[in-house]
Amino acid sequence: MAEHEKQVGIELYSKLREKMKDSFSSEDMAVIDKAFNVANEAHGNQLRKSGEPYIIHPIAVAEILFDELGMDMPSISAALLHDVVEDTNYTIEEINGLFGSEIALLVDGVTKINRMQISSKEEQQAESLRKMFIATAKDVRVMLLKLADRLHNMRTLSSLPHDKQIYISNETLSIY
């Protein structure tokens, strides 16, 4: 990945940080900054299907949670970290050690939802999955984080092949 592409993520995060700095204490901002730095390092040279640096996705999810839902520091931090366990060598235990149990719980909850496989498009199964998500989420913020994740993915569907766009759109309509 070119230096310019790495700079894109840093610039996007800087803009988000500027918006957040008056809403959070310096201690909270230090945790959010640490989450960004871990995610940015962990995602390294990963690219999205669009060819953009992967880090733009967690930043966008964090921005949705902050701008549109006014979420708290653990939620914003978890948004930045939400794909680290699933897509990199980090473990949930390492996230817990670095950020504590509250942020680790949120990251782990989203990771578990992401790993669920949908094998049928039947309405009854979709309803069962909805109930399971709600019943198994130990914190409603997990669901809000997952919905923000899905929202950003829906906003960026154009970079995927048409058949994948249709599949993801139908899955979103059925489950989310």
Angle at 113 between CA 117 and CA 148, to 5 degrees: 120
Catalytically annotated residue among 41, 67, 86, 127: 86
Neighbours of 6 (CB within 10 A): 15
**Catalytic residue at 102?**
no
**Catalytic residue at 86?**
yes
Catalytically annotated residue among 52, 72, 87, 94: 87
| DSSP-based three-state secondary structure for 47 | strand
Task: Compute CA distances 92 → 84, 87, 101, 109, 151, whole Å.
Answer: 9, 12, 10, 10, 24
Active site amino acids: 86-87
